[in-house]
Chains A and B, each alone.
Chain A
Amino acid sequence: MTLSRRTVSDWLWPLVVFGALAFIPKIGAHIPKLFDQPIDSPGTLALLSACLLYGALALTYDLQFGFTGLLSFGHALYIALGVYLSNIAITDWHWSFWPSILFTMAVAFVLANVLGFVSLRVSGIAFAMVTLAFAQAGAVLALKDPHHWTHGEEGLGADYTKLPQAFVGIVNTKNLYWLALAFLAVVFFIVRWAVDSSPGRIWQAIRENESRVEVLGLRPRAYKLQAFVLSSTLAAAGGIVYMLLYNGSTLAVTQPNFTLTLLLMVVIGGAGSRWGAVLGGILYTYLDDRLVAIGNSSTVEGLPHVLRTPIEQPLFLLGAIFILIVVFLPGGVAGLAARGRPSGLRRIEAAVRPEAEGA
């Protein structure tokens, strides 16, 4: 039996890649320039888990941005919901683990439906602003903490006695790595399946030309809501993984900048491409961590103040890389493989174009 090229690229390659990644915690080697510590040390594994998790979160964002053409500035709201609500249920309300998870997912699903329904009344840039506003409301709620659940700026450490013991403590960093990897694989295959389903094809058609979809007698808004709800619910699940990985919740995930960093990851990797988004998330997280280490290294300390300051701020460098990619390489890293076909941002353009232009 010969496998079709499609089966190979859709199933075989991802399985091989994720399978290979699963063996990383078993490697005892030390790669000096790449990591500070041996690969199987908790420090390196924690960084790698974060990379995989952000790869998955970037992919959930790409589902609405790259595949459906919805530019949201409020994706962080759903991630933060996963991070906080699961933790609040476990730590503040003393629920046990699984009911908390199920409750969080149910709330995320309902909230995504309600807010998506309202925000999708407008499209393009107005949609971006409305989602930003809702996320801001969530951030204010988490900060002001009217019910004494989130503990505001202190953050909320998880009650570890209620968490599955396999995910608690530094000896179990390996398991957390596998959890992050499993989550990435699940999101990857769900996105694969979703964008290939018949609604998924309509999402992509909406991205390319919404009016044409309307002319065909379909209602774009209902389909956009589907993509929004799926993406947001997956994001909330990612939030729960985040809570387990970091053992609690902090306000950083509620900030509008959190969504913007996801946007940076997706664009750097390549919008509208599964591997691109994942790669963007992994690269960004890795660089964000390593650039700080480089900034503190002895070579940099010798530099004059003017040069040292930007290097010590990873976000400055990453922001600059991002601008260069937007201007010179709109397909992102994945676009390098597209060989002249329109890819990445060029394909999303039509979806965000203001009406005044088409009038």
Chain B
Amino acid sequence: MSTFFLLTVTGLGLGAMYFLIASGLSLIYGLMGVLNFAHGAFITVGSYGTWWSSQHVFDGVHSALWRWLLSSLLGLALGGVFAAFVELILIRPLYSRHIEQVLVTVGLQLAFVALVTGIWGPDAKTFVVPPWLHETTDIAGAHIPNDRWIEIATAGAVLGLLQLFLRKTRYGLIIRAGVENRAMVQALGIDVRKAFTLVFAIGGIAAAIAGVLSGVYFTTVNPDQGTSLLIFAFIVVVIGGLGSIGGSAAAAVVVGLVQQYTNYYASSGVGDMIVVLLLGLVLLARPRGFAGAVVGARA
């Protein structure tokens, strides 16, 4: 029973990272029709930005907690700014040419991983966090690493903030309306392009948070980490239904848990296979994903 509890919390922690990546991907796809491969680069900007600034900018800060928090904040800011620039410089000139936008993000992702590998080497870097994050708390007889709670709480907070933003603010309204029917929003005289940059920035920050949390979760960061997380996030986005934040959250939890349970109870690797199988089943049964948003199958 205690193992089961540990697996559940760990699975939720993993799902939290998937959700942080998938939420941005899903919003960007829903609004702009761009499958954003560069999201992997945003994750890397977050994790490497945090790692680098904890070594070079905030190395004078004595409290490990503050050092981690401050460098994480800088990492998030870098992620958001980088994502906004990607939208402005690379995506905007290719407006309404979807395939070229996708290809540009693919090229960016490959080139960026190569650049990071070139500058800091392919080896994993130790991620400095407050020591208590790697201690465990005993709950119901299970030793739960403390960082899992941070991951789950952060993802929960981001989910709440995103929903609040989408439902209560004017820009949130424009984004939601744009996901439903972009042509109509434009016809009403609203400049949707500002919303494009905004969803990229939001997606970039969320992905950078996932980058920081992946550093905490795996205790190290390496240049390929973003890519491997990205692939499962893609699966989460498709299962959850493109363009739906709630769907992404639900799918992220399911995928994270299924992966953890089967990797433990069956054997390592089986969980990853089951997740892919799940994707196949969902597509056969409901080509539009759980939430059944606008896109996915041709009408």
Question: Do the beta carbons of A122 and B99 come within 8 Å of each other?
Answer: no
Minimal Cβ-Cβ distance residue in B for A117: B284
Asked if residues A348 and B99 are in contact (CB atoms below 8 Å), the reply is yes
Interface residues of A in 115-131 (CB under 8 A from B): 118-119, 121-126, 128-130
**Known contacts A132-B231, A210-B298, A355-B299; is A313 also within 8 Å of B114 by CB?**
yes
Tell me, yes or no, whether A342 is within 8 Å of chain B by CB.
no
Closest to B281 in A: A118
Hey, which chain A residues are within 8 Å of B181, CB to CB?
356, 359
Tell whether A136 is near chain B: CB-to-CB under 8 Å.
Answer: yes
B81 at the interface (CB under 8 A from A): no
B280–A256 touching, CB < 8 Å: no
B115, A313: Cβ atoms closer than 8 Å: yes
In contact, B99 and A349 (Cβ under 8 angstroms): yes
A330: B residues at CB distance < 8 A: 100
B33 with A125: CB separation less than 8 A = yes
Q: Does A326 contact B (CB under 8 A)?
A: yes
Q: Shortest distance in angstroms between B242's beta carbon and chain A's nearest beta carbon? A: 7
Considering the chains assembled together, what is the distance between the CA atoms of A132 and B228 in angstroms? 12
The stretch that binds B, out of A97-105, A138-146, A164-172, A235-243, is A138-146
- B131 to chain A minimum Cβ distance, whole angstroms, is 32
Decide if B160 is an interface residue (CB 8 Å cutoff): no
Residue-by-residue, is A127-163 near B (CB-CB < 8 Å gives 1, otherwise 0)? Answer: 0111011101100110110100000000000000000
Is B269 in contact with A146, judged by CB distance below 8 angstroms? yes
- Chain A CB within 10 A, most for which of B96, B115, B268: B115
The distance in angstroms between the C-alpha atoms of A323 and B108, with both chains bound, is 7
Q: Do B231 and A309 touch (CB < 8 A)?
A: no
Say yes or no for A312: interface residue by CB 8 A criterion. yes
- Residues of chain A at interface, number, CB under 8 A: 55
> Nearest-CB distance from A92 to chain B (Å)?
18
Is B143 located at the chain interface by the 8 A CB criterion? Answer: no
Q: Is B2 an interface residue (CB 8 A)?
A: no
Q: Restricting to B261-279, which residues have a CB under 8 Å from any CB of A? A: 267-269, 272-273, 276-277, 279
Q: Does A257 contact B (CB under 8 A)?
A: yes
A345-359 vs B: 1/0 string, CB under 8 Å?
A: 100110011111101
| Bitwise interface map of B from 93 to 114 toward A, beta carbon under 8 Å scored 1, else 0 | 1101111101110111011111
Per-residue 0/1 for B212-255: is the Cβ within 8 Å of any A Cβ (1 yes, 0 no)?
Answer: 00000000000000010001001101100010000000000000
Residues of B contacting A133 in the complex (Cβ-Cβ under 8 angstroms): 231, 234-235, 238, 276, 279
A123, B298: Cβ atoms under 8 Å? yes
Contacts of A315 in B (CB 8 A): 110-111, 113-114
B296 within 8 A of A: yes
A203 at the interface (CB under 8 A from B): no
1/0 contact string of A319-351 vs chain B (CB within 8 Å): 110110011001000000000000001001100
Indicate whether A257 sits within 8 Å of B110 (C-beta atoms), given known contacts A122-B296, A129-B35.
Answer: yes
Inter-chain contact A354/B295, CB cutoff 8 Å: yes
Chain A residue, CB-CB nearest to B29: A125
A181 proximal to B (CB < 8 A): no
Tell me which residues across on chain B come within 8 A of A257, comparing CB atoms. Answer: 110, 227
Which one, B93, B94, B98, B118, contacts A310 given CB within 8 A? B118
- The distance from the CB of B48 to the nearest CB of chain A, in whole angstroms, is 14
Q: How far is the CB of B20 from chain A (nearest CB, A)?
A: 18
Bound-state Cα–Cα, A137 to B114, Å? 24
> Which of A42-50, A188-196, A259-267, A275-283 forms contacts with chain B?
A259-267
Contact with B33, one of A121, A309, A326, A356 (Cβ below 8 angstroms): A356
The answer to whether the Cβ of A229 comes within 8 Å of any Cβ in the partner chain is no
Tell me the smallest distance from the CB of A17 to a CB of chain B, in Å.
28
Q: Quick check: is B90 within 8 A (CB to CB) of the other chain? A: yes
The answer to the question of B158 belonging to the interface, with a C-beta cut-off of 8 Å to chain A, is no
Q: Is A246 engaged at the interface, CB distance under 8 Å to the other chain?
A: no
Q: A356 to B180, alpha carbons, bound, how many Å?
A: 8
Output the residue of B110, B112, B268 with the most chain A CB within 10 A: B110
B128 near A: Cβ within 8 Å? no
Question: Is A71 part of the binding interface, using a Cβ–Cβ cutoff of 8 Å?
Answer: yes
Asked if A313 and B99 make an inter-chain contact with CB atoms under 8 angstroms apart, the answer reads no
Q: Are B118 and A356 in contact (CB under 8 A)?
A: no
Interchain CB contact under 8 A, B35 and A125: yes
Task: Check A345–B100 contact: CB distance below 8 A.
Answer: yes
In contact, B102 and A71 (Cβ under 8 angstroms)? yes
Is A316 a contact partner of B114 (Cβ separation < 8 A)? Answer: yes
Minimum C-beta distance from A32 to chain B (A): 27
Verify A327–B100 contact, CB threshold 8 A. Answer: yes
Let me know if A122 and B276 touch, CB within 8 A.
no
Please tell me if B156 contacts chain A, counting CB pairs below 8 Å: no
**Which of B93, B97, B280, B283 is in CB contact (< 8 Å) with A349?**
B97
User: Is B88 positioned at the interface, with any CB of A under 8 Å from its CB?
Assistant: no
Is the Cβ of B33 less than 8 Å from the Cβ of A129?
Answer: no
> Do residues A327 and B104 form an inter-chain contact, with CB atoms below 8 A?
yes
Does B172 belong to the interface (CB within 8 Å)?
no
Q: With contacts A121-B283, A123-B297 known, is A130 near B238, CB below 8 A? A: yes
Given contacts A129-B237, A129-B238, A313-B115, 8 further A-B contacts (CB under 8 A): A118-B284, A132-B234, A136-B231, A256-B231, A264-B106, A309-B119, A323-B111, A345-B99
Task: State the A residues within 8 Å of B (CB).
Answer: 71, 118-119, 121-126, 128-130, 132-134, 136-137, 140-141, 143-144, 146, 210, 256-257, 260-261, 263-264, 267, 309-310, 312-316, 318-320, 322-323, 326-327, 330, 345, 348-349, 352-357, 359
**Sample of 7 A–B contacts (CB below 8 Å):** A118-B284, A129-B234, A129-B235, A134-B280, A137-B273, A146-B267, A322-B110
Counting from the closest, the 10 A-B pairs by CB-CB distance are A319-B111, A144-B269, A315-B114, A316-B114, A354-B33, A313-B118, A137-B276, A309-B118, A313-B114, A322-B107
